[in-house]
Structure 1
Amino acid sequence: MAEPASIAVVVGVAGGLGGALARTLGAQGRYDLVVGLARRRPADWPNSPEWPFIETDIQNEDDLLAAAQVLRALGSLDRVVVATGLLHGEGVAPEKTMRSLDAATLTRLFAVNAVAPALIAKHLLPLTPKDRPSVFAALSARVGSISDNRLGGWYGYRASKAALNMLIATLAIEHRRTRPLGVCVALHPGTVLTDLSAPFRKGGADDTSFIPARSAQALVELMDRLGADDNGGFFAWDGSRIEW
């Protein structure tokens, strides 16, 4: 009987960190397929049967359902990494004061940072194997930790990432019931030198900021070390636990 295909999925491969995560996972040589999901195919995405790409709008549940159907036909998913997120953009900027709070902006941040990953989990967690270890990881942020919030500000981003953390913790409880070897976690990638962090960096890389390849390598090494007892955890890129 043939061994089941080993499959890694990265959601958000059009972003700097998502693309780096896919390349890092591919370089390990342990996966038969590295599947990318995003609204647009990256220009440098490999044109290879071992690197399928599925055009997907994560805010459209019909798209997620269609992507899940494609993935189900490929086999069980050993690793799923959700590398999507919104901090700033057209009409969206981190709030410095409560006077800047805006309902539409808050709704958009929650839609991207919390609702979309939850729906991704809804459709992809059931595709993880029941008889061997797996990892489902969503990229969160340390600023989403309520216990660690000492500076204030960034209301919408903090709150939407805190919501993501609660969703992951709750998903992990249900996930354990049918997949005791599975791990469902939230990960803080550090300050990564991508478009997401660009407006908020005062200089180049330092000891607390990373190029995407460095962050991706640290995150992949961390995920490789996770075991069933880590299910439902919130971890920084260096493996340290972050308080909720």
Structure 2
Amino acid sequence: YIIRTWTFIKASSWSATVPSSVKGLLGACVVIPCSYNYPDPQISTTSFTGIWYNKNNQVICHSDKSQTSGQFRNRTKLLGDLSKKNCSLMIDDLQQSDVGPLYFRIEIKGYDQYSYKNNKVSVSYKLTAMMEFWFMTTEGENVSASCSVFHSCPTYPPSFIWSHSGEQHDQTQQLHEGQWNSTSTLTFRPNHSDHNKPLKCNITYHRGLSLISEAVKSVSFLSHLIKNTLLPVGGDQETQQPLT
């Protein structure tokens, strides 16, 4: 008797995985995470062209930069390796007109091409960024002050500068839907001369957007963020928002 065993493997299909929407800070950058798949071509494929379109079918990003529409040419970039099915897109200097919806198209030389119009992503923007700032301090003991902010551009994470010297540790954590959280922790030993002096955490985004958090620290108390200021790029005016 001859026993034959058949193994059935489900073929891949034209599919893409993107968040339904991402949120970015106006004037900063935003990254749209994207992966795609296609049916097994049964041949060797080495040449891939990736294209992103907006709702007006403008080419907002193209593997061949010269094919990108002029208003997007220096603001968009494909971050992923298309041969590894990564189609992630970065939009720099986010503008109100970038809201989308956007969709991705792949062209595989010698095989096929496909537009993932059923996998569109919208981009929303915010004018200011909110942050958290907290610390506990007791005279003569080490203090750990933390400053945390959400963002959507892991390619250019925000940088932190503290007004007090000490040991600084920064880290970035991926959340969901294209959102990230960056936190800076400063450890130092306060003394009596620090009483009622402001402790500032200055966060700078890509392209110069700056967010300043300030709190007053004194001996033996827990302090929360009391001022949140966003400085627009190239602007002289400040927008202050007291937090509750």
TM-score by length of 2: 0.20
- Higher relative strand content: 2
Larger of the two Rg values belongs to structure:
2
